[in-house]
Amino acid sequence: MTPQGRAPSEDPGWDLSFLRVGAAVTAGVAGVGALVTGLVAGWPDAVGVLVGAAVVTAFFVVSGVVIAWAGRIDDTFTLPAALGMFFVKALVLFAVLNALPEEGWLDRLTMAWTVIVGALLWSAVQLRWVWTRPLYYVTPPPSAPKEFSGNRRGAEGEATTAGRVAPNSRGPGCGT
Protein backbone atom coordinates (compact mmCIF):
# COMPACT_ATOMS: atom_id res chain seq x y z
CA MET A 1 0.00 0.00 0.00
CA THR A 2 1.14 3.53 -0.67
CA PRO A 3 1.18 6.28 1.95
CA GLN A 4 -2.16 7.53 0.58
CA GLY A 5 -3.70 4.07 1.16
CA ARG A 6 -3.96 3.03 -2.47
CA ALA A 7 -2.46 -0.08 -3.98
CA PRO A 8 0.36 0.28 -6.52
CA SER A 9 -0.88 0.42 -10.08
CA GLU A 10 -0.56 -2.68 -12.24
CA ASP A 11 1.05 -0.65 -15.03
CA PRO A 12 3.49 1.65 -13.26
CA GLY A 13 5.01 3.06 -16.43
CA TRP A 14 8.57 2.12 -15.46
CA ASP A 15 10.38 0.75 -18.50
CA LEU A 16 13.57 -1.19 -17.75
CA SER A 17 14.34 -2.14 -21.35
CA PHE A 18 17.53 -0.06 -21.23
CA LEU A 19 19.02 -2.71 -18.92
CA ARG A 20 19.08 -5.30 -21.69
CA VAL A 21 20.64 -2.85 -24.12
CA GLY A 22 23.19 -1.64 -21.56
CA ALA A 23 24.18 -5.19 -20.63
CA ALA A 24 24.58 -6.16 -24.29
CA VAL A 25 26.68 -3.10 -25.14
CA THR A 26 28.81 -3.59 -22.02
CA ALA A 27 29.36 -7.26 -22.82
CA GLY A 28 30.48 -6.45 -26.35
CA VAL A 29 32.80 -3.62 -25.35
CA ALA A 30 34.18 -5.61 -22.38
CA GLY A 31 34.84 -8.65 -24.56
CA VAL A 32 36.79 -6.67 -27.13
CA GLY A 33 38.47 -4.59 -24.42
CA ALA A 34 39.54 -7.69 -22.46
CA LEU A 35 40.99 -9.31 -25.56
CA VAL A 36 42.96 -6.20 -26.54
CA THR A 37 44.05 -5.57 -22.94
CA GLY A 38 45.11 -9.21 -22.52
CA LEU A 39 47.27 -9.07 -25.62
CA VAL A 40 48.78 -5.67 -24.83
CA ALA A 41 49.09 -5.52 -21.02
CA GLY A 42 48.64 -9.11 -19.84
CA TRP A 43 45.89 -11.44 -18.76
CA PRO A 44 45.56 -10.16 -15.15
CA ASP A 45 44.62 -6.81 -16.69
CA ALA A 46 42.12 -8.54 -18.99
CA VAL A 47 40.50 -10.18 -15.96
CA GLY A 48 40.31 -6.70 -14.40
CA VAL A 49 38.41 -5.47 -17.45
CA LEU A 50 35.91 -8.33 -17.23
CA VAL A 51 35.40 -8.01 -13.46
CA GLY A 52 35.04 -4.22 -13.74
CA ALA A 53 32.44 -4.58 -16.49
CA ALA A 54 30.53 -7.15 -14.41
CA VAL A 55 30.58 -4.84 -11.38
CA VAL A 56 29.25 -1.88 -13.38
CA THR A 57 26.54 -3.98 -15.02
CA ALA A 58 25.44 -5.42 -11.68
CA PHE A 59 25.35 -1.95 -10.11
CA PHE A 60 23.25 -0.43 -12.89
CA VAL A 61 20.85 -3.38 -13.01
CA VAL A 62 20.31 -3.38 -9.23
CA SER A 63 19.85 0.42 -9.22
CA GLY A 64 17.37 0.31 -12.09
CA VAL A 65 15.30 -2.41 -10.46
CA VAL A 66 15.29 -0.75 -7.02
CA ILE A 67 14.38 2.67 -8.43
CA ALA A 68 11.59 1.18 -10.56
CA TRP A 69 10.29 -0.72 -7.54
CA ALA A 70 10.31 2.47 -5.45
CA GLY A 71 8.57 4.38 -8.25
CA ARG A 72 5.94 1.71 -8.51
CA ILE A 73 5.06 2.31 -4.86
CA ASP A 74 5.11 6.11 -5.17
CA ASP A 75 7.03 8.49 -7.41
CA THR A 76 8.29 10.45 -4.41
CA PHE A 77 10.33 7.40 -3.33
CA THR A 78 12.51 7.34 -6.46
CA LEU A 79 15.02 10.03 -5.40
CA PRO A 80 15.66 8.53 -1.95
CA ALA A 81 15.99 5.08 -3.56
CA ALA A 82 18.47 6.40 -6.14
CA LEU A 83 20.55 8.24 -3.55
CA GLY A 84 20.45 5.27 -1.19
CA MET A 85 21.58 2.90 -3.94
CA PHE A 86 24.41 5.28 -4.89
CA PHE A 87 25.63 5.27 -1.27
CA VAL A 88 25.38 1.46 -0.99
CA LYS A 89 27.18 0.96 -4.32
CA ALA A 90 29.99 3.31 -3.28
CA LEU A 91 30.47 1.34 -0.05
CA VAL A 92 30.41 -2.00 -1.90
CA LEU A 93 32.90 -0.79 -4.53
CA PHE A 94 35.20 0.56 -1.81
CA ALA A 95 35.02 -2.78 0.04
CA VAL A 96 35.65 -4.80 -3.13
CA LEU A 97 38.64 -2.71 -4.17
CA ASN A 98 40.14 -2.88 -0.67
CA ALA A 99 39.57 -6.64 -0.38
CA LEU A 100 41.54 -7.38 -3.53
CA PRO A 101 45.28 -7.97 -3.14
CA GLU A 102 47.58 -5.33 -4.61
CA GLU A 103 49.38 -7.94 -6.68
CA GLY A 104 47.29 -10.89 -7.69
CA TRP A 105 45.01 -12.52 -10.17
CA LEU A 106 43.58 -9.21 -11.39
CA ASP A 107 44.86 -5.69 -11.71
CA ARG A 108 42.94 -3.32 -9.40
CA LEU A 109 43.91 -0.21 -11.34
CA THR A 110 42.63 -1.69 -14.60
CA MET A 111 39.44 -2.74 -12.87
CA ALA A 112 38.96 0.75 -11.41
CA TRP A 113 39.43 2.37 -14.84
CA THR A 114 37.03 -0.15 -16.34
CA VAL A 115 34.42 0.81 -13.74
CA ILE A 116 34.84 4.48 -14.73
CA VAL A 117 34.61 3.74 -18.46
CA GLY A 118 31.72 1.34 -17.88
CA ALA A 119 29.77 3.94 -15.90
CA LEU A 120 30.26 6.44 -18.74
CA LEU A 121 29.18 3.80 -21.27
CA TRP A 122 26.04 2.98 -19.27
CA SER A 123 25.30 6.70 -18.95
CA ALA A 124 25.54 7.05 -22.73
CA VAL A 125 23.18 4.09 -23.19
CA GLN A 126 20.67 5.62 -20.77
CA LEU A 127 20.91 9.04 -22.43
CA ARG A 128 20.31 7.54 -25.86
CA TRP A 129 17.41 5.50 -24.48
CA VAL A 130 15.78 8.60 -22.99
CA TRP A 131 16.37 10.74 -26.09
CA THR A 132 14.86 8.18 -28.47
CA ARG A 133 11.69 7.30 -26.52
CA PRO A 134 8.45 9.27 -26.22
CA LEU A 135 8.52 9.81 -22.46
CA TYR A 136 5.74 11.96 -21.04
CA TYR A 137 5.95 14.14 -17.95
CA VAL A 138 2.17 13.98 -17.67
CA THR A 139 -0.27 11.36 -18.86
CA PRO A 140 -1.06 12.07 -22.51
CA PRO A 141 -4.70 12.76 -23.40
CA PRO A 142 -6.74 9.89 -24.84
CA SER A 143 -6.50 9.39 -28.57
CA ALA A 144 -8.50 11.80 -30.66
CA PRO A 145 -11.25 10.23 -32.77
CA LYS A 146 -10.28 9.23 -36.26
CA GLU A 147 -10.71 11.94 -38.85
CA PHE A 148 -14.11 12.13 -40.41
CA SER A 149 -14.09 10.82 -43.94
CA GLY A 150 -17.66 11.56 -44.91
CA ASN A 151 -20.13 14.35 -44.43
CA ARG A 152 -23.47 12.64 -44.05
CA ARG A 153 -26.39 14.31 -42.31
CA GLY A 154 -28.01 12.65 -39.32
CA ALA A 155 -31.67 12.65 -38.33
CA GLU A 156 -31.57 16.21 -37.01
CA GLY A 157 -29.26 17.56 -39.68
CA GLU A 158 -25.92 17.47 -37.85
CA ALA A 159 -22.87 16.11 -39.66
CA THR A 160 -22.09 12.52 -38.61
CA THR A 161 -19.76 9.71 -39.54
CA ALA A 162 -20.70 6.14 -38.65
CA GLY A 163 -23.32 7.33 -36.20
CA ARG A 164 -21.03 9.73 -34.27
CA VAL A 165 -21.62 13.44 -34.05
CA ALA A 166 -18.80 15.47 -35.55
CA PRO A 167 -16.82 17.31 -32.85
CA ASN A 168 -17.59 20.77 -34.26
CA SER A 169 -21.34 20.26 -34.50
CA ARG A 170 -23.88 20.72 -31.76
CA GLY A 171 -25.49 17.59 -30.46
CA PRO A 172 -29.20 16.80 -30.48
CA GLY A 173 -31.28 19.15 -28.39
CA CYS A 174 -28.74 21.99 -28.51
CA GLY A 175 -30.68 23.97 -31.07
CA THR A 176 -29.49 24.97 -34.52
DSSP one-letter code for 78 = H
Determine the pLDDT at residue 6: 52
Enter the pTM of the model.
0.67
| pLDDT for residue 118 | 95
Which letter, b or e, does each residue of 15-34 get, where b requires 16 or more Cβ atoms within 10 Å of its Cβ? Answer: eeebbeebbebbeebbeebb
Instruction: List, for residues 111-160, the tens digit of each pLDDT value.
Output: 989 999 999 999 999 999 888 887 677 777 777 655 555 555 555 555 54
pLDDT at 88: 94
Q: Is 151 exposed, middle or buried (0-12, 13-18, 19+ CB in 10 A)?
A: exposed
Q: Where are the domains of the chain?
A: 17-131
Q: Could you report the per-residue pLDDT of 51-83, keeping only the tens digit for each?
A: 999 999 999 999 999 999 999 899 899 999 999
